[in-house]
Amino acid sequence: MSQSVPVTPVPHSVAGVPVPAGSILVPNLLAAQTDPDTWHDPEAFLPERFLAPGAPVRALLPFGCGARACPGEGVARAELFVFLGHILRDFRLEPPAPGELPGLGVRGGTVLRCPPFRVRLTPVGPP
């Protein structure tokens, strides 16, 4: 009889709490991605934080990590780059009314969801 071997080594304790053999660990990505010990002002929308020298590269995990990482991550990133590049080239993104910015709160779950919001796309002239 063969014995199954975990794909990744499983620690016997996490943060000092014993983990019995056979346990399933589900990481709380929302807590990890809004950890004030890792991120300055974690609730604020600050995409430039990833451009700063010494930014924690692996602290943001939108596609998971390790053996269970999303196999489509490379394709998704390439598509997002092209799609967003075309939008930003051809349109100016504006709030629907002056000063009416979307809320940045998220709802936790399997996938993080932000509340619905509207954006006005104003075509820009040819370069």
Could you list the pLDDT tens digit for every one of the 127 residues in the chain? 455 555 555 557 777 888 887 888 777 777 777 888 888 888 888 778 777 787 776 666 677 767 777 888 889 889 999 999 999 999 998 888 888 877 777 776 666 677 788 888 999 977 6
Domain with 112 in it: 68-127
Confidence (pLDDT) at 75: 92
Same domain (yes/no): 96, 111: yes
Residue positions in the annotated binding site? 70
Main-chain phi, psi angles of 75, to 5 degrees = -65, -45
Q: CB within 8 A of 120, min separation 6: which ones?
A: 93, 94, 95, 96
- Residue set of the binding site for heme: 70
Residues 6+ apart with CB under 8 A from 60: 33, 50
- The rounded Cα 58 to chain-centroid distance in angstroms is 11
- Is residue 5 in some structural domain? no
The answer to whether the CB of 76 falls within 8 A of the CB of 63 is yes
| Structure confidence at residue 54 (pLDDT) | 79
**Structural domain includes residue 15:** no
